[in-house]
């Protein structure tokens, strides 16, 4: 599977099929009104359905809009790459929060068979600095009856 196909599959797990189809159109066309978006979609969906989904994408801060005459013109608030990065970060954070070091070990195993990906992971790790230590964490707790 190509990296682009893998990213599309990742987005498909996060968005509904119609949301993703609309985002694809908007990323490729830039600015469109609802009717323009309907014309570029393959599924023959109703205008009102597309309008509703586009409004929900505005609420989710994926599209923005402005009034032009009697209609709204919509455009993507973020590039495809920015959305891919945000979704990937959210999904990885959920897995790591849920499984901790077990998840990290599986991520490393998943890339270990690809020299290019493994080199990229090594470069990322080399660029990480340790977080600053909390100086309060090193102080011993007050002894009972001690001064406050």
Domain ranges of the chain: 3-76, 80-128
Residue 25 exposure: Cα atoms within 13 Å on the Cβ side: 21
Strand, coil or helix: 143 = coil
CA distances (Å), 36 to each of 71, 74, 102, 135, in order?
11, 10, 47, 58
Task: Give the CATH architecture of domain 3-76.
Answer: Orthogonal Bundle (1.10)
**Global pTM?**
0.73
What is the structure's pLDDT at 137?
A: 54
Nearest to 69 by CA among 25, 29, 33, 30: 33
The tens place of each residue's pLDDT in the chain, 148 residues long, gives 777 777 878 888 889 999 999 999 999 999 999 999 999 998 789 999 999 999 999 999 999 999 999 999 999 999 999 999 999 999 999 999 999 999 888 988 888 888 888 888 889 888 888 777 765 555 555 545 545 4
């Amino acid at each position: 599977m190509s990296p682009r196909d893998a990213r599309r599959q990742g987005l498909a797990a996060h968005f509904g099929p119609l949301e993703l189809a609309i985002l694809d159109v908007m990323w490729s066309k830039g600015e469109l009104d609802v009717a323009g978006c309907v014309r570029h979609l393959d599924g023959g969906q109703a205008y009102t359905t597309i309008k509703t989904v586009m409004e929900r994408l505005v609420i989710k801060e994926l599209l923005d809009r402005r009034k032009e005459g009697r209609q709204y013109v919509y455009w993507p608030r973020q590039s495809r790459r920015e959305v891919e990065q945000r979704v990937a970060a959210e999904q990885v954070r959920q897995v790591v929060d849920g499984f901790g070091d077990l998840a990290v070990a599986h991520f490393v195993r998943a890339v270990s068979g690809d020299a290019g990906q493994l080199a990229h992971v090594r470069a990322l790790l080399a660029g990480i600095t340790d977080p600053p230590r909390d100086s309060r964490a090193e102080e011993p707790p007050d002894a009972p009856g001690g001064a406050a």
